[in-house]
Amino acid sequence: MINLFNPLFIRYLLAWMPMIAIGILNGVLREVAYGKHLSELRAHQTSTLTGVALFGIYIWGVTQQWPLESAEQAIAIGFAWLVLTVIFEFSFGHFVAKLPWSRLLHDYNLLAGRIWLVVLIWIAAAPYVFSRF
């Protein structure tokens, strides 16, 4: 059983917050650098890959700064980050950006080439992956 009040676990929960800025930076990069030169779908797919890279660099740095104590802890942190990310994405997208639920769910349609789920899977798995190195 993971101790939710473990100082390391709390540190990792707080370390999720800069991931909001990384996501915004990734969106700005998309709009400024390549979004105008690619179709919307290709820009989405490229943004997914750059998001995986940016989050990977950040998460690797965090795991180097604060080594995880166990595989169980890494999995719990990845799951917590996944939940925080999805809650933020849907609450910000719907209540602040005023996007309809259908638009928010659009990026989850793998059959339409929308691969945003790769970013979410990576955010969840990366603490475990990097803790094994």
State how far Cα 129 lies from the chain centre: 15
Query: What is the pLDDT averaged over residues 34-58?
Result: 97
In a domain, 1, yes or no: no
Give CA–CA dist 56/60, Å, rounded: 6
pLDDT reading at 103 higher than 80: yes
Query: What is the pLDDT averaged over residues 22-32?
Result: 96
In a domain, 111, yes or no: yes
How many folded domains does the chain comprise?
1
Q: Domain span at residue 61?
A: 7-131
User: Can you read off the two tokens belonging to residue 33?
Assistant: 């650098």
In a domain, 96, yes or no: yes
In a domain, 21, yes or no: yes
| pLDDT the model gives residue 1 | 65
| pLDDT the model gives residue 99 | 93
| pLDDT the model gives residue 86 | 97
Give CA–CA dist 55/22, Å, rounded: 7
Query: What is the pLDDT averaged over residues 14-33?
Result: 97
In a domain, 61, yes or no: yes
Average pLDDT in the chain = 95
In a domain, 2, yes or no: no
Which one-letter DSSP state was computed for residue 97? S
pLDDT reading at 39 higher than 80: yes
Query: Residue 2 to residues 8, 10, 75, 92, 131: CA-CA distances in angstroms?
Result: 11, 12, 10, 29, 16
Which of 125, 132, 10 lies closest to 56 in space, CA to CA?
A: 125
pTM: 0.92
User: Can you read off the two tokens belonging to residue 132?
Assistant: 């094994």
In a domain, 112, yes or no: yes
Name residue, tokens 């940016």: 54
In a domain, 78, yes or no: yes
